Amino acid sequence: METARPMIQLGVNVDHVATLRQLRQTLYPDPLEAARLAQLGGADNITVHLREDRRHIQESDVARLVRELSIPVNLEVSLDLVILEFAVLIRPAEVCFVPERRAERTTENGLSVRLLTDRLRPVIRRLSDSGIRVSLFIDPVPDEIEAACRLGVDAVELHTGAYAESRDPESRAHRLECLRSAARLAGSRGLAVHAGHGLGYDSVVQVAAIPEIETLNIGHAIVSRAVFVGLETATRLMKERMVTARRGTT
Ligand code: PXP
């Protein structure tokens, strides 16, 4: 029997489980064990970012996650050709292109799809030909959505950082409106709409209520909460908030 598709999905980013491990070069904590607990808590997919400096997730983590998990893996990558060949070899369900700067603490901006179109086109084709879905992490602005659409990707992930970090009510309302209209535009162009970055247990509510958004990718807040309540519970609490917020709108 076919199970009903959940109305909004949660991708749990387990990078920071690997951050803790790499800090001491220990064998623990294991991102795969974390992913399994996140799945028990309701995660619909697992996201990891294989950074050029390998500061947290390693190739072996990605390979094990893809091989062992029964839920899809979304692999975040830069335009690094070695990493791209690795992705083709390992075949995660989805690859999401993100911009990367060595000195940044975490991904800062969305991709400049318009500027990178010529570099993106062949690698998107290579991944698509290998049966891997492709997503682009972009700021919620119309020009980037149109550029992503022209490249024929499957999905865009809207950068929620500016919304999540804005403190004064006026700029928060403005940032939320940008996300709403970007989601509407992307949806109307036939793109699957994902969103994420910087979302917490409170800021997730308004974003999860945006009807076009299919998936939210969240890491730092969930892994931080897990220190106190465990990863399964931390994931369940986030998923419940998302589902409740979405139910309020449909
Ligand atoms: N989406 C993308 C594209 C990201 O790069 C990250 C951070 O790795 C996230 C979502 C998750 O962000 P956070 O850890 O702030 O929840």
pLDDT at residue 250, as a whole number: 47
SS3 216: strand
| Ligand 1 contact via 98 beta carbon (within 6 Å) | yes
- The residue to mutate among 15, 106, 153, 222, having the most atoms of ligand 1 within 8 angstroms of its beta carbon, is 106
Report pLDDT for 106.
65
| DSSP strand pairing (9-13 vs 213-218) | parallel
Domains of the chain listed by start with CATH number: 9-247 (3.20.20.70)
Ligand 1 pocket, residue 217 CB under 6 Å: yes
Q: Is 210 exposed, middle or buried (0-12, 13-18, 19+ CB in 10 A)?
A: buried
For residues 74 and 44, give the distance between their C-alpha atoms in angstroms, rounded to a whole number: 11
Q: What is the pLDDT of residue 248?
A: 87
Q: What is the mean pLDDT of the chain?
A: 94
pTM (predicted TM-score):
0.95
What's the DSSP call for residue 52?
A: T
Asked if residues 46 and 88 have their Cβ atoms less than 8 Å apart, the reply is no
Res 101: pLDDT: 74
pLDDT at 5: 46
Q: How far is the CA of 1 from the centre of ligand 1 (A)?
A: 34
> What is the pLDDT, as a whole number, of residue 171?
96
Containing 178, the helix (H) or strand (E) segment is helix 169-188
Residue 249 confidence (pLDDT): 54
Q: Which residue puts its alpha carbon closest to atom 15 of ligand 1?
A: 198
- Residue 144: active-site member: no
Determine the pLDDT at residue 203.
Answer: 97
Secondary structure element (H or E) that encloses residue 160, with its range: none
Ramachandran sector of residue 217 (left: φ over 0; alpha: ψ -120 to 50; beta: rest): beta
Is 68 one of the annotated active-site residues of the chain? no
Pocket test for ligand 1, best of 15, 53, 107, 138 (most atoms within 8 A of CB): 107
Instruction: Collect the ranges in the chain with pLDDT lower than 50.
Output: 2, 5, 250
